[in-house]
Structure 1
Amino acid sequence: MQLIYKAVPWAIRASFISSLMTLSGASLAAGFALNDHSATASGNALAGAAASNTDMSYSFWNPALFTNAKKTSIYVSGAYLLPEMDVTVNSATKRTGETTTTDITSDGKPSGDIVDETIIPALYFAIPFKTGTVLGVSLNAPFGLSGEYGDDWAGRYHSAKTGVQDIALSFSIAQRLTKWASIGASTHIHQANVRLDAAVTDLGLGTGDGYGKLEGDDVALSYSVGFMLEPLKGTRFGVGYRSEIDFTFEGDAEYSNIDPTVESTRDIENAYLYDELTFPSVLSIGLEQDFGSKFKLGISAIRTGWSSLDEMRIKFGEGQNPGRQGDSVLTFDFEDQWFYSIGVSYDVTENLTLRTGIAKDYSPVKDEYRSARTPDGDRDWVSVGGTYRFSPDTSLVFAYTHVEVEDVNLNRTGSLEEDYVRGALNADYKSSAEVISLALNMAF
């Protein structure tokens, strides 16, 4: 069995937004979640995101916050992500024990940029009614990650190209029950596509590496619910919950330049594939407090249920030789983790509001299962932003966030069964990201 299999999907082809978006950069949030859903929320590091009364873009974390729209409104946001990732290969060996770094460059590093700059859009549209009911539609990318090492670096048997992309179209209803209480719910339609590439070893035969590409896609449903309370004027508390997403990715395994001996010994062939994978739930808890008429303090605690990702197990259907190709597995064993943030906003003038915030985002990846597909570490955020109001119904929102990722070491010794053919890899990762967000918020 050739374990080309790797973690964390790529490339969704959602034709209705393909002209707007290319999601192929490093993830801003821990794991492979994306938190770039609102330039307003990004300005103070998502502080108070489940409780804020600022605008309807906070509905991503709590659908009850669609009640922030008092008129028919549209909010269009885009985040420009500039990631940096530096990989230093300390050692790498094939299954045969041969050092892979001597086969390529002098240091075994990837030959180009691993992660690319990208734009992540978000869109919200709301129609309120006199009854206190608001109907909403939104478009977001809840999960996304991509990394392209190339097929000539020392860890090419562990990963050459990988990523995940998930596009969600959501339909929401929110109801203001009283002046101090609102509830909301959403149904989400997700479209996702998986792409996993890696080099295939020649097992020391001297014929050169082959290449394998695994690709699949799926459409799935999920839901979210939430409430917001304002028991005292100026004190808001909100909770939002986004459910798990159950995907069954289906597609094809395609191999090229495989040595015939390797193909027969390792049971490798082009075939149909499928993989059942559950993306995590997200629980958002927010508190927002007004101090006077100009100053707000926000606090957020967001828990992502990453433990739903215990492993990725790809199963192969019948090729030319039915039943030959066994499951390909990559262990995640992710842990549920928290994101914490605190931030403030201040109305400098009637037209200008400024924001700032800090956050700590804990990674779900365990050291023993860190891989070239998931070289993740804890993240620290520092954010600034603001809103300029051209009129009561039209405003421009801006934000800048610096994300510093903890330096991590990847140490795959080859002892895990899933690494039997990949061999060993030890590498150090240094990563960071700059994010520039802009949004236009308009009411009619």
Structure 2
Amino acid sequence: MTTSSKGLFKVSVVAVSVAAASSAFSAGFALNDHSATASGAALAGAAASTSDISFSFWNPALFTNADTTTFMASGAYIMPSMDVTLNSAEDAASAASSGALANQDISSDGVTQDSVDDTLVPSLYFAKPISDKTVAGISLNVPFGLSGDYGQDWAGRFHATETGIQDIALSFALAHRVSEKLSVGASVQLHQAEVVLESAVGTSTALAGGEGIGRIEADATGYGFSLGVLFEPVKGTRLGAGYRSEVDFDFEGDVKYTDVSSTLTAAGLVDADVTDSITFPSVLTLSVEHDLNDKVTLGLSAIRTGWGAMDGINIDFDSTQSNSVLTFGFEDQWMYSAGVNYVYSDKLTLRTGVAMDNSPVTDEYRSARTPDGDRKWISVGATYDFNDMTSASFAFTHVMIEDVTVNRDGSLTEDGARGTLNADYESSANVFSASVSMAF
């Protein structure tokens, strides 16, 4: 094994990234289903709706939607599909060596796999008026998340085998009606994030030390805030804006290796503590709702996610291993949606909407952990009022995701220990949402 190959082994864990992953529902790895009511109209009017308190996720001023003590639980069951067609893949030794190891192809052309898991995303809201004009609110959400597993035997295993990300946010908010036309709100948030990241390390050939599995598990606590305003310049027309701040995380955890040879251990692949700092993006939501008449309400939203804050990772190992660096290359992106609500009867409201959700991933840095493409949503939903105190909402969203190709051809330094990968991705998702709201 050459000295350069040993160096490649030392940075093999660059294949696992703290946050570079793709959920099949929302662009990047954001999760946008925090309200079955909002999802029914594809988030149209999300920062300007007077429907219920779940819209406070996008605009904390909307806790003023509660006239009395209110509890609301919402959940979304995300059923993604991701078919991966392997065109070619080479391990690090094949890509970096000559002679006997040159062009050693470890792929199977045409192999397809379903590599993402069904996921349940819960949301909880509680609002209590503390005066005629002020409402206190508490909410629990999962703003970012992912669960996916390629398996340890697929040809791209040196780029990724398993990725799991979960960010749980507990928010404490105050919302105040300044006047009949203006409401404002703010919250502070406690975030708890966990990550599981796994990939193969080494090479597929025993001559160069063979391969094993490297697995990182880490967690971190972060803090954020949100601000919001709702303005109704004329009766029936509402303008809303909400901002959720960036959240800084200092991840701490460990890397553990299994099935590694003594050659790889000597090269530095030993269990160790790991640390890394990363910033989850801010979210700005701008919305408008307009009541055409007593039955029909139109909504529009533009949601900007500041993905550019996530420029990459720099994993620090508490061992002889060199830091591992991975570039994300994310770009700030917008999601646009339009929808309509129709009051069918005193008890039943119907809604529908469409959305375009642009991916932050660029072609240059798209990887097995970020096989992300632009999305289109088609949503339908309904709310049924059982009485003045209790209602239930339902929604269905079909997400169409642009077909993309991951082409890691070895030109990036960070792929030196992972080799090359060329794969085509076809993805989509169906999302079923439901919520119950109870006033006391």
Any conservation in 2 of the 1:5–1:214 contact (CA below 8 Å)? no
Whether 1:58 and 2:55 are equivalent positions in the alignment is yes
Match in the other structure for 1:2? 11
Whether 1:358 and 2:371 are equivalent positions in the alignment is no
Report the CA distance between 1:200 and its aligned residue. 1.2
Judging changes above 3 Å, is the alpha-carbon distance between structure 1 residues 143 and 100 closer, same or farther for their aligned structure 2 residues?
Answer: farther
Any conservation in 2 of the 1:243–1:282 contact (CA below 8 Å)? yes
Q: How many corresponding residue pairs?
A: 423
Judging changes above 3 Å, is the alpha-carbon distance between structure 1 residues 101 and 362 closer, same or farther for their aligned structure 2 residues?
Answer: farther
Superimposed CA distance per residue, residues 177-225 of structure 1 (whole angstroms, 9 cap, x where no aligned partner): 1011000001111101111100112373346421100111011110000
CA distance in 2, matches of 1:7, 1:284: 31
Judging changes above 3 Å, is the alpha-carbon distance between structure 1 residues 49 and 106 closer, same or farther for their aligned structure 2 residues?
Answer: closer
Any conservation in 1 of the 2:163–2:196 contact (CA below 8 Å)? yes
Match in the other structure for 1:308? 309
Any conservation in 2 of the 1:180–1:229 contact (CA below 8 Å)? yes
Partner AA of 2:199 in structure 1:
A
Match in the other structure for 2:91? 94
Whether 1:82 and 2:79 are equivalent positions in the alignment is yes
Q: What is the root-mean-square deviation in Å for CA atoms of aligned residues?
A: 1.8
CA distance in 1, matches of 2:204, 2:76: 44
Bigger proportion of residues as helix? 2
Match in the other structure for 2:381? 385
Identical columns (%)? 54
Superimposed CA distance per residue, residues 250-288 of structure 1 (whole angstroms, 9 cap, x where no aligned partner): 0001112212223323x2211110010000000000000
Match in the other structure for 2:156? 155
Partner AA of 2:262 in structure 1:
P
Show the 5 A alignment for 1:132-281.
132-202=133-203, 204-206=205-207, 208-265=210-267, 267-281=268-282
What TM-score results when the alignment is normalised by the length of structure 1?
A: 0.92
Whether 1:370 and 2:366 are equivalent positions in the alignment is yes
What TM-score results when the alignment is normalised by the length of structure 2?
A: 0.93
Report the CA distance between 1:374 and its aligned residue. 0.8
Report the CA distance between 1:440 and its aligned residue. 0.4
Show the 5 A alignment for 1:323-334.
324-334=320-330
Superimposed CA distance per residue, residues 380-434 of structure 1 (whole angstroms, 9 cap, x where no aligned partner): 0000001011101111100000000000000001121111010000000000000
Any conservation in 2 of the 1:51–1:286 contact (CA below 8 Å)? yes
Judging changes above 3 Å, is the alpha-carbon distance between structure 1 residues 101 and 164 closer, same or farther for their aligned structure 2 residues?
Answer: farther
CA distance in 2, matches of 1:28, 1:342: 18
CA distance in 1, matches of 2:104, 2:358: 32
Report the CA distance between 1:107 and its aligned residue. 4.6
Superimposed CA distance per residue, residues 274-330 of structure 1 (whole angstroms, 9 cap, x where no aligned partner): 010000000000000001111100000000000001001111114xxxxx2101121
Match in the other structure for 2:132? 131
- Gaps in structure 2 of 5+ consecutive residues: 1-9, 95-100
- Gaps in structure 1 of 5+ consecutive residues: 11-23, 319-323
Superimposed CA distance per residue, residues 135-158 of structure 1 (whole angstroms, 9 cap, x where no aligned partner): 000000000012210110010000
| Larger mean Cα displacement after TM superposition, 206-215 or 100-109 | 100-109
Any conservation in 2 of the 1:202–1:259 contact (CA below 8 Å)? no
Match in the other structure for 2:287? 286
Match in the other structure for 1:321? none
Report the CA distance between 1:131 and its aligned residue. 3.2
Whether 1:431 and 2:431 are equivalent positions in the alignment is no
Any conservation in 1 of the 2:22–2:369 contact (CA below 8 Å)? no
**Secondary structure of the structure 1 residue equivalent to 2:386:** strand
CA distance in 1, matches of 2:234, 2:17: 44
Match in the other structure for 1:15? none
